[in-house]
Every structure is written in C-alpha cells, then in structure tokens.
Amino acid sequence: MIRTTLRILGFVLLALGLFLLFRDFWASLEARELTFVAGGELWYRLHPGSLNLLQAGIQRNVAPEIWDPGIVAVLLAPASVILSVLGILLMVVSRRRRRRG
C-alpha cells in the first residue's frame, strides 16, 4: 500500500517536473533568453509561511550551516529539476524487488 502510494506520488512529481520544464522552455522562447523558475521561488509563491517556518526551524533547532549553503543551493535550482529528481527517486525506491530463487 505504501509502496503504491510512493510510486503514484513519484509519477505525479515527475509529471509536474516535466510540465514545469515545458513551461520554462516556453517562457524562454518568449523572453528570448534562458529562464527557469527556481524551486524556492515556486515554493514561496505557493506557501511562503511554510518556507519561512522551515528556514527558522532548521537554523534554530538543527544547524545554521545546513540552511546556507546546503538547502539554499537546492532551492536555487530549477523547480523542474528538483521535482523530476524527487519523482524519479520515489519511483526507484518504491519499485518492486525481484525475488531470488
């Protein structure tokens, strides 16, 4: 059950990543320059409070060094790449194992 849910979530994330890649490609054609929506920018557009809460929580309770440069580098990456990689990882982790014997 959990494996199926993770697999479906992986497919959804991969589809969203490919959609954003197409959207970025289309926006680049219109602007006549290479443009991508960063992962942090997309997250901030969708729910700024959760991004701020995550930053505060990690910097206060875990370690400030994890946030900058670690998580900041991920948030500056294109959202299409982040979602596609997460989707592929979820699909790989949730794939069915072959039994030996």
Model confidence over 52-78: pLDDT tens digits?
999 899 989 988 888 888 899 999 999
pLDDT bracket for residue 80 (50, 70, 90):
very high
Q: Is residue 45 domain-shared with residue 19, that is, in the same domain? A: no
Q: Is residue 19 domain-shared with residue 6, that is, in the same domain? A: yes
**Please, which contacts does 34-41 make with residues 24 or more away whose CB atoms are closer than 8 Å?**
36/78, 36/79, 36/80, 37/78, 37/79, 37/80, 38/75, 38/76, 38/77, 38/78, 38/79, 39/74, 39/75, 39/76, 39/77, 39/78, 39/79, 39/82, 39/83, 40/72, 40/75, 40/76, 41/79
* Stated pTM of the model: 0.81
Structural domains of the chain, count: 2
Q: Is residue 2 domain-shared with residue 30, that is, in the same domain? A: yes
Indicate if the pLDDT at residue 31 is higher than 80. Answer: yes
Model confidence over 4-17: pLDDT tens digits?
899 999 999 999 99
Indicate if the pLDDT at residue 101 is higher than 70. Answer: no
Q: Is residue 43 domain-shared with residue 70, that is, in the same domain? A: yes
Question: By residue range, what is the domain housing residue 58?
Answer: 38-77
Q: Is residue 16 domain-shared with residue 4, that is, in the same domain? A: yes
